[in-house]
Amino acid sequence: MTDLTHLATPGAEIEVRVTPKASRNRVTLQDGTIRVYVTTAPENGKANAAVQKLLAKSLGLAKSRLTLIRGQTSRDKTFRLD
């Protein structure tokens, strides 16, 4: 998993590109874009919860410190670090 602890500053907005129903869970950094792959299907917010958990782990934070502020139903999401 990619180490993103250098991005963990309070108040930061982190933009990610999500791929649901992937073969395995992982976080990558490609050309300056954070990509999150989750095995969960995008139904009833399950994929969003999986993305939040995986991103928090990469940032070295508790998942409760990340808030989804944009992209509830989109593949492009923005999380704010509280």
Chain segment 64-82, per-residue pLDDT in tens = 999 999 999 999 999 999 9
Architecture of the structural domain at 5-81: 2-Layer Sandwich (3.30)
Residue 58's pLDDT is: 95
Neighbours of 65 (CB within 10 A): 15
Residue 2's pLDDT is: 85
Of residues 77, 6, 73, 69, the one with CA closest to residue 35: 77
Q: What is the pLDDT of residues 12-48, one digit of tens each?
A: 999 999 999 999 999 999 898 999 999 999 999 999 9
Q: Where are the domains of the chain?
A: 5-81
Q: Where are the alpha helices (DSSP H) in 1-82?
A: 46-59
pLDDT at 62 over 90: yes
